[in-house]
């Protein structure tokens, strides 16, 4: 059993890097990739609805979720619904993998190596926020590419963009964005992304607190394994809580990354969206987002919990 003295010694001897375990990285990647491949079309529709400001005439307009699916399928075929799959898989896989890697490391360090020590909401928020900032800093260029490929329409009018803003896949997009827009272009949407770190922090806080309190209710250690059904329920509830609280930042971020629009920074985007679309403008694509992220999170967390426990079990002496 870990004593207070042992925990103190643990903290003095260990740094954050000492708590990085590849098992969490692999498990996070597995969950992120699995859910992304299954639910990619919903993600594409969400992005297109989010940037549909009703003003720009050079892009297709959609009246809702169902209309967007039908229009994209008719104009671009099944391939159109899977446009941008590569960067989405790379982005989701790397983001979930890195997030779980950093979060578990920070959490373990704060616990002093004692997995049965509850952290409470504030420390869960702190650990998740730190993990979110580190992950976003590494993966933001992938999300810029994903958004731009999602918004590369097949319609004749929509394709009237300079060659510098028309992309032939993920590598070509990375190259052209860097060459024509510089390092800054790869980090468009980073500022609202930082605000969006609160989304992941709130989600992980809710998820961890529900797991901990449920295990306390059962009278078992807080890090005890739950059933698949329990993981699915807690993942869904925590994601819905985070989405409803922080969704507007995702709209602002997507619009800043959109090659068809030009805004004077994050605040300029907020002002323009509110001026022409009102509060409703900040919630465009919400239904598609909820339909996508809820099952995506359920799949991701279920795969992560089981894969990480299996890998750690194999590693145990």
212: in domain = yes
227: in domain = yes
pLDDT band at 98 (very low <50, low <70, confident <90, very high): very high
Position 218 scores a pLDDT of: 93
**pLDDT above 70 (res 168):** yes
pTM: 0.73
Measured distance CA(16)–CA(301) in Å, rounded: 23
Name the residue among 240, 236, 229, 241 with its Cα closest to residue 306. 229
Q: What is the mean pLDDT of residues 115-120?
A: 83
CATH number of 32's domain: 1.50.40.10
Q: What is the mean pLDDT of residues 59-86?
A: 86
202: in domain = yes
**pLDDT above 70 (res 268):** yes
Quick check: 240 and 232 in contact, CB under 8 A? Answer: no
Position 232 scores a pLDDT of: 95
From 111-115, 137-141, 151-155, the region with the lowest mean pLDDT: 151-155
157: in domain = yes
201: in domain = yes
Tell me which residue range forms the domain holding 20.
Answer: 16-315
Number of domains in the chain: 1
7: in domain = no
pLDDT band at 88 (very low <50, low <70, confident <90, very high): confident
């Amino acid at each position: 059993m870990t004593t207070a003295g042992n925990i103190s010694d643990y903290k003095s001897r260990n740094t954050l890097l000492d708590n990085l375990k590849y098992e969490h990285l692999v498990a996070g990647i597995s969950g992120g990739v699995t859910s992304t491949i299954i639910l990619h079309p919903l993600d594409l529709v969400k992005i297109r609805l989010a940037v549909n400001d009703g003003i720009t005439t050079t892009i297709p307009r959609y009246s809702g979720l169902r209309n967007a699916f039908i229009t994209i399928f008719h104009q671009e075929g099944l391939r159109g619904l899977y446009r941008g799959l590569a960067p989405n898989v790379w982005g989701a896989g790397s983001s979930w993998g890195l997030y779980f890697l950093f979060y578990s490391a920070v959490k373990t360090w704060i616990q002093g190596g004692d997995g049965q020590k509850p952290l409470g909401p504030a420390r869960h928020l702190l650990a998740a926020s730190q993990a979110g900032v580190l992950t976003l800093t590494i993966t933001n260029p992938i999300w810029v590419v994903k958004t731009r490929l999602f918004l590369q329409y097949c319609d004749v009018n929509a394709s009237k963009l300079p060659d510098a803003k028309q992309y032939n896949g993920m590598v070509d997009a990375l190259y052209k964005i860097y060459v024509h827009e510089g390092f800054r272009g790869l980090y468009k949407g980073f500022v609202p992304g930082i605000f969006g770190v609160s989304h992941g922090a709130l989600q992980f806080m809710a998820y961890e607190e529900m797991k901990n309190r449920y295990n306390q209710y059962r009278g078992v250690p807080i890090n005890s394994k739950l059933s698949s059904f329990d993981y699915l329920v807690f993942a869904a509830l925590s994601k819905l809580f985070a989405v409803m609280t922080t969704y507007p930042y995702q709209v602002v971020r997507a619009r800043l990354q959109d090659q068809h629009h030009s805004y004077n920074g994050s605040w300029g985007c907020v002002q323009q969206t509110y001026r022409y679309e009102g509060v409703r403008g900040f919630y465009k694509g919400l239904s598609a987002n909820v339909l996508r992220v809820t099952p995506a999170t359920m799949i991701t967390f279920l795969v992560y919990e089981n894969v990480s426990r299996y890998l750690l079990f194999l590693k145990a002496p």
